[in-house]
Amino acid sequence: MSDPLQTAVVTGASRGFGRAIAAALVARGTAVIGIARDEQELRAVGDEPGASFTPVAGDATDETLAQDVIREHRPGLLVLNAGATPHMAPVHEQTWETFSRNWQADARHVFTWTRAALREPLAPGSMVVSMSSGAVLGGSPLSGGYASAKAAIRYIRGYAAEEAQRAGLDIRFVTLLPQMTPGTGIGSVAIAGYAARQGVDQDTFVEGRQPIHTPEQVAKSVVEVAADANSAPEYRITAAGLRPID
Ligand SMILES: NC(=O)c1ccc[n+]([C@@H]2O[C@H](COP(=O)([O-])OP(=O)(O)OC[C@H]3O[C@@H](n4cnc5c(N)ncnc54)[C@H](OP(=O)(O)O)[C@@H]3O)[C@@H](O)[C@H]2O)c1
């Protein structure tokens, strides 16, 4: 049986939620393999949490990278958090390339690692946590295909959980839906765009959405879910903690 909190892979570990998740896991004794494309930024994360952070620079949509990392490190936990910054514009000012950006990065990398988790497969008792978004519940009218790509991640989770059960793999799949969060890469860009659209400054926009969780609360939620053998399949993350989705 694999312990999800022994060795974990965190994609998008160099900034925002991913960096906080890597730090929280390392702090509780988990060996973390952190993935992002910018090697310098990723290496700087290792200075913070300490020796049990292994940076692996690469594109998380790369199938070979996913397969190699799983084979080499045998993680009990995959946190599929990497995501592209959406092109902020209304639909008629998007191109197909900008509209599909989060499909090419977020949804594709969750597909890639989920597929690898089932095909390798991960050891019994393992867990895959994928980052969707609260945007799937209300849409993302200024962020192109962002909400639809994040909705695809919920479907991928469900399909994978069913296949794992059919094959008796004992791998759990959980999806998390955090809120738009100031101080993160994607959250900051989204807040700037939606505040401008409403004709208010960013502080006023953020004030109107309080209470908002912090990246550290997202990280705490990931650790909580990974430690809970009876976790629900999907949760919203709120400032008050995890809320299961029916
Ligand atoms: N922040 C929010 O308000 C919010 C709300 C709901 C959901 N989310 C979701 O939560 C996740 C994290 O958001 P965030 O705001 O923390 O993001 P962020 O601060 O912009 O960080 C994104 C991380 O993903 C990495 N990344 C992006 N594309 C990658 C790729 N192809 N391969 C490997 N790494 C890649 C980035 O590093 P490199 O660029 O160096 O690769 C970086 O480490 C995203 O999936 C996002 O959609 C965020």
pLDDT in tens, 189-203: 999 999 999 999 999
Tokens of 152: 């695809």
Does residue 124 fall inside a structural domain? yes
Q: How many domains does the chain have?
A: 1
Cα distance between residue 175 and residue 185, in whole Å: 20
- Pick the closest to residue 25 from 83, 78, 84 (CA basis): 78
Confidence of residue 49 (pLDDT cuts 50, 70, 90): low
Does residue 102 fall inside a structural domain? yes
Ligand 1 test: best mutation among 32, 78, 81, 202, most atoms within 8 Å of CB?
81
Helices (H), 62-184: 63-73, 96-99, 101-102, 108-119, 135-138, 146-166
The pLDDT of residue 47: 74
Query: Any residues with Cβ below 6 Å from ligand 1, and which?
Result: 11-18, 35-38, 41, 59-61, 81-85, 105-106, 131, 133-134, 178, 180-181, 184-187, 190
Q: Residue 206's Cα: distance from chain center in Å?
A: 22
Does residue 195 fall inside a structural domain? no
Mean pLDDT of 104-127: 98
The pLDDT of residue 152: 98
Cα distance between residue 116 and residue 125, in whole Å: 16
Question: Is 50 a residue whose pLDDT tops 70?
Answer: no
The pLDDT of residue 1: 82
CATH number assigned to the domain comprising residue 132: 3.40.50.720
Does residue 139 fall inside a structural domain? yes
* C-alpha dihedral sign at 100, 210, 181, 31: negative
- Residue 245 Cα to ligand 1 middle (Å): 23
Strand spans (E) along the chain: 7-11, 31-36, 53-57, 77-80, 127-131, 172-177, 234-238, 241-244
**Percent of the chain residues topping a pLDDT of 90:** 96
Mean pLDDT of 165-189: 97
Does residue 208 fall inside a structural domain? no
Mean pLDDT of 33-60: 89
Tokens of 29: 């004794």
Q: Please report the atom of ligand 1 found closest to the CA of residue 19.
A: 43
What residues make up the domain containing 39? 7-180+215-239
The pLDDT of residue 56: 97
Confidence of residue 45 (pLDDT cuts 50, 70, 90): confident
Does residue 207 fall inside a structural domain? no
Cα distance between residue 24 and residue 18, in whole Å: 10
Does residue 209 fall inside a structural domain? no
The pLDDT of residue 48: 61
Mean pLDDT of 82-96: 98
Does residue 190 fall inside a structural domain? no
Average pLDDT for the chain: 96
The pLDDT of residue 53: 94
Q: Using alpha carbons, list the distances in angstroms from residue 160 to 99, 112, 117, 133, 174.
A: 26, 12, 9, 19, 10
